[in-house]
Amino acid sequence: MSNSLRFLFVALGCGLMCAPGNRVLAQQTSSTSTQAAASADTDQEVDPLKRPRSDKERFAAQKAVRQELKGAYKTWLDQDVAYIISDEERKAFRNLSNDEEREAFIEQFWLRRNPNPDSPDNEFREEHYRRIAYANEHFAAGKPGWKTDRGHIYISFGKPDSIESHPSGGAYNRPMEEGGGETSTFPFETWHYRYLEGIGENVDIEFVDTCMCGDYHFTIDRGEKDALSHVPGMGATQWEEMGMAKKADRFKGGFESLGTGPLASGEASKEFDRIELAAKLFAPPPVKFKDLDNFISEHKLIEGPIFPFDVRTDFVKVTDNTVLVPITVQIKNRDITFVTKTGVATGVVNILGKVTTLTHKTVQTFEDTVQVEQPAELLEKSLDRRSVYWKALPLLPGLYRLDIAIKDVNNPDHIGIYGSALNVPEFHDEKLATSSLILGDEMNTVSSHDIGEGSCIIGNTHICPRVSANAATPVDFKRGQELSFWMQVYNLGIDEATKSNQAKVTYQITDVTTNTVVFEKELDSKDLGAHSDQLTVEKSLPMAGLQPGKYRVTIKVNDEISKQQIAQSAPFVVQ
C-alpha cells in the first residue's frame, strides 16, 4: 500500500471520529476503555491462587491427579491392598496430589489395622503379604494366584478350617439338598470356615473349575459343577429318576440349577442368602483396630555418644522366589555399659531392625535384646570379645533398605543407627549360582531337632559369620583359631542318563601379599551330593600354619554338564 493511501485512510478515520454526530460514540468508547483498564488493574490485585477455577480447569486438575497415580503407588492400590481397602479409602487415595501424601496414607492404612499399635511389628501387614505369597504359589492358573477367586478369599480370610477337594472331578453322589442321585462333576473344592467375623458361622464356599484348566472360580450355583447337566438322559436327580421332575426344570429361573428334589422348596428359599453371602465375601473387610491418624513417624538426631556396631548381610536361596537373608549384628563388649550386681557384670542392648521397600513400605521388622553377663572379676578380660546377634529374614528378590537401631539399656543416651541398601539377588533357573561365602571361626552340624531353629543356623549347619567394619575390610582371625567357610551352589547340570551331577569344586587359600596359593584342594561334586542340582561346600581348616598377614579364600565351581563356571572369594587377616 502506498504512503498516499495510508494517509487517506488515517484522515478518513479521524474525520469519522471527530464528526459532531460521533462525539458521543467517541466518549463512550473512551469510557469503556477506562473501565476495562480499571477492571484489569483490579484483577491484577487478586491472588491467582485464590481465584475460583472454572469447571474445565477443575476437571483438568483431577485428570492430572489420576494420571500421577502410577508405578509403585498404582501397584499398591490395584494389587497389594485390592481386596482389603474400603471404597472410601480408595477414593481418598486417588484424590491425593503428591507422593508425600501417598506415603503418609499408606503408613496410616497399615497402622489403622495393626492389632498391637505399640509394637514395631505389624502382624496384620505381615500376615497379609504372607497370604499373597501363598496365593501366588498355590492358586496361579494362567494368571497370578492373587487374581483368582481362591486367592481372593484366602487373602481376605486366611486358611479355611477344612477343604473338601475333588481335583479330578468324576463320580459324585449328590446330597439330598442338591437333589440326590449320581452324576459326574468338573473339578471343584468346598472351603469350610467355622466362623468368619461379619459373615457368620459354618460358612461353605464353593469353587468349580469348569474349564478344566486349574482356574477354580467362586460360584453360588452348586449345580454348576455338574458336568452332565446338559447331557440328555445322564446325571439325573433322584426325582428325575422317579419321573417326578424333568431335567429342563433345573434351568427355569432361579440362581441355582440343582433341579427339583425332596428338599427343593427349602433350598430355593435360601438362594438370596447365598447372594448375600457372596456380597459379604467379596466386600472389603471392616477396619477393626484403633485409628492412629495422629501418629507421626519422626527421624531424630542422635544427641548422646554414638554406639558403634557392625552389620553383615548374606543371601541363601530357599525357593525359586524366596531368599533367606541372614543379618548379623556385631557389638564390641568394650562399647557396652556394664552394671555390676551381686558379683555379676551385666550389659543389655536392645536391637530394632526394619526392612522397607523403595516406597517406604515395611516388609519385615525384628526386635530383640542381647544380654552379656560376666563374673565381675573377669569383666576386664572379656571387653576385647564381641557379642553377636543373628536374624534370618525370608525376602523376595529386589531392592530394599535395611535400618537397624541399637540402644545401650544401662546408658539410654548411648544409641547407634545403621542404614544401607539391601539388594536381594534373584537366582535364575539353569544359571549356575552360589550363596554368599560365609567365613567363621567355628562350625558344626546340628541335630535334626535344631534345624531351622536358633541363632546362626542355616539348614543343618551352625556357623556364625565373622563381621568386619565394611565390605572392603577383611575379617580377622587368630593363629590358634580355625578358619571355617560355608557356601551353597545352585543349578548344577544333571546328566539325563545317570541322573547325577558332574562338577569340580576347588577351594584354595592365597597369600594376598605374594599372590601365592598356600593351600588348594579339589573335590568331585558327587562326593558332596551326587543326584542333586544343589550342594553345600563347608570346611574347617586350622590356621596354625599360616603366618600373620592378609589372605583370601576362594571357591571355584566348574560344571562339566552345563559348561558353566562360577567362583566366590572372601578376604581375611591372620593376626
Structural Rg of the chain based on CA atoms: 37
226 strand-pairing partners:
185
Is 100 a residue whose pLDDT tops 70?
A: yes
| Interacting residues of 384 by C-beta distance below 8 A, sequence separation 6+ | 332, 333, 334
445 strand-pairing partners:
461
Q: Indicate if 428-575 has the same CATH topology as 299-426.
A: yes
Mean pLDDT of 233-260: 76
Q: Could you report the per-residue pLDDT of 483-533, keeping only the tens digit for each?
A: 999 999 999 998 888 888 899 999 999 999 999 999 999 999 888 887 788
Amino acid 512: pLDDT: 92
195 strand-pairing partners:
201
Amino acid 451: pLDDT: 56
Mean pLDDT of 205-233: 90
For 159, 237, 326, 357, 429, the CA distances from 401, given in Å and listed in that order, are 31, 61, 15, 6, 26
Question: What is the pairing mode between strands 310-313 and 217-219?
Answer: unpaired
Is 444 a residue whose pLDDT tops 50?
A: yes
**DSSP helix/strand/coil, 33:** helix
Query: What are the domain boundaries of the chain?
Result: 126-281, 299-426, 428-575
Is 256 a residue whose pLDDT tops 90?
A: no
Sheet holding 217-219: strands in order across? 162-166, 188-196, 200-208, 217-219
Is the distance from CB of 114 to CB of 124 less than 8 angstroms?
Answer: yes
Taking alpha carbons only, the member of 351, 453, 475, 476 closest to residue 402 is: 351
Mean pLDDT of 326-345: 92
Is 157 a residue whose pLDDT tops 60?
A: yes
Band of pLDDT at residue 313, cut at 50, 70 and 90: very high
| Greatest mean pLDDT range, 167-171, 364-368, 406-410 | 167-171
Q: Mean pLDDT in the chain?
A: 80
Higher pLDDT, 242 or 270: 242
For residue 496, the tally of other CB atoms under 10 A from its CB is: 7
Least confident among 8-22, 27-41, 508-522: 8-22
Is 273 a residue whose pLDDT tops 80?
A: no
Amino acid 510: pLDDT: 94
Taking alpha carbons only, the member of 210, 222, 198 closest to residue 276 is: 198
CATH of domain 299-426: 2.60.40.10
CATH of domain 428-575: 2.60.40.2550
Amino acid 14: pLDDT: 42
Buried b (16+ CB within 10 A) or exposed e, 456-493: bbbeebbbbbbbbeeeeebbebeeebebbbbbbbbbbb
Helix, strand, coil share of the chain (percent; to 5): 30, 35, 40
